[in-house]
Amino acid sequence: MTSSEAVDLIRDAIMMTLILGAPLLVIGMIVGLAIGLLQALTQIQDQTVSTVPKLVAMTLAIVVCMPWLADRMIDYSRNLFLEIPIHVASK
């Protein structure tokens, strides 16, 4: 395996991590922004008011996105395992 192939594998792994994490992070950011705005308008500064809705929203996002996330992870793993002989043979 050449160094460029190793860099490609690492880049693909990082991109897959970003793609899989993006929906949950975006949901958390949107809910956090909405709760922060609500707290600023009402001047309620309790930490549980911001934490609990984010946890609930991100849990629902995981449940809704799980089939898509699982398909992406399975496809990535399958392609990675299929490419092992190619990388080993290129020594």
- Tens of pLDDT, residue by residue over 51-73, are 889 999 999 999 999 999 999 99
At a CB cut-off of 8 Å and minimum separation 6, what does 65 contact? 23, 24
CA distance 24 to 57: 9
Report the number of distinct structural domains present in the chain.
Answer: 1
Instruction: Give the pTM.
Output: 0.75
Q: Given this model, what pLDDT does residue 16 score?
A: 95
Cβ–Cβ < 8 Å for 85, 59: no
Choose the weakest-confidence range: 1-5, 29-33, 54-58.
Answer: 1-5
Classified as helix, coil or strand, 2 is: coil
Q: Given this model, what pLDDT does residue 28 score?
A: 92
Q: Of 76 and 49, which is predicted with more confidence?
A: 76
Q: How many CA atoms lie within 13 A of 21 on its CB side?
A: 7
Domain range holding 31?
A: 3-89
In the predicted model, is pLDDT for residue 4 greater than 90?
no
